Chains A and B, each alone.
Chain A
Amino acid sequence: MKYAAKKIGMLVITVLLVSFLTFMAFQLISGDPAETLLGTAATPERVQALREELGLDRPFLVRYGSWLLGFLTGDLGESYSYRQPVWELVAPKLASTAALTGISFVLITLLSLPLGVLSARVRSNVADGIRTAFNQLCMALPPFVLGVLLSWVFGILLHRFMPGDFPSLTADPAGALRYLFYAAVCIAVPRIAMTVRLLRSNIAGEMQKEYVLAAAARGASPTMILRRHVLKNVLLPTVTFLGQTMAEIIGAAIIVEQVFAIPGIGRFLVSSVANRDYPVVQTIVVLLAFWVVLTGTLAELINHAVDKRLG
Chain B
Amino acid sequence: MAARKSNPFLILGGVLIAAFLALAVFGALFSPQDPNAMQAGEKLLAPSLTHLFGTDRFGRDIFSRALAGLGTTFFVAAATVAIGAVFGTLTGALTGYYGGVADAALMRLNDTLTAFPAVLLALLAISLLGPGKESSLVLALGLVFIPGYARLMRTAFASPSNRAFVLSARLMGAKGARIIFVQLLPNTLPTLLPALTIGFNNAVLAEAGMSFLGIGVTPPDASLGYMLSEAQGMLAAAPWYAACVGGVIVLLVFAVGLFGEGLQRRMHT
A residues touching B (Cβ–Cβ < 8 Å)? 14, 17-18, 22, 25-26, 29, 129, 132-133, 136-137, 139-142, 144-145, 148-149, 151-152, 155-156, 163, 244, 247-248, 250-252, 254-255, 258-259, 269-270, 273-274, 276, 278, 281, 285, 288-289, 292-293, 296
**0/1 string, B182-221, CB within 8 A of A gives 1:** 0000000000000000000100010011001111000000
CB < 8 Å: which of A133, A163, A273 contacts B127?
A273
Contacts A140-B257, A273-B215, A288-B120 known; list 11 others, CB within 8 Å. Answer: A139-B253, A140-B201, A142-B250, A149-B242, A244-B115, A251-B118, A254-B123, A254-B213, A255-B209, A273-B126, A274-B132
Contacts of A270 in B (CB 8 A): 123, 213-215
- B134 located at the interface, meaning its Cβ lies under 8 Å from any Cβ of chain A in the complex: no
27 contacts between A and B (CB under 8 A): A22-B124, A25-B128, A26-B128, A132-B9, A133-B9, A133-B258, A136-B254, A136-B257, A136-B261, A139-B253, A140-B253, A140-B257, A142-B205, A142-B249, A144-B212, A145-B250, A148-B242, A148-B246, A156-B236, A251-B117, A251-B119, A251-B120, A254-B120, A258-B212, A274-B131, A274-B214, A292-B116
Q: Chain A's nearest CB lies how many Å from the CB of B120?
A: 5
**Known A-B contacts A145-B246, A293-B115; A139 and B257 likewise in contact (beta carbons under 8 Å):** yes
From 81 to 131 in chain B, residues with beta carbon under 8 angstroms from any chain A beta carbon are 112, 115-120, 123-124, 126-128, 131
Contacts of B231 in A (CB 8 A): 148
Q: How many residues of B contact A (CB 8 A)?
A: 42
**Known A-B contacts A129-B8, A142-B249, A281-B127; A152 and B242 likewise in contact (beta carbons under 8 Å):** yes
**Known A-B contacts A29-B128, A292-B116; A137 and B249 likewise in contact (beta carbons under 8 Å):** no
Contacts of A274 in B (CB 8 A): 131-132, 214-215
Does the CB pair B119–A252 fall under 8 Å? yes
- B232 located at the interface, meaning its Cβ lies under 8 Å from any Cβ of chain A in the complex: yes
CA distance A64 to B235 in the complex (A): 46
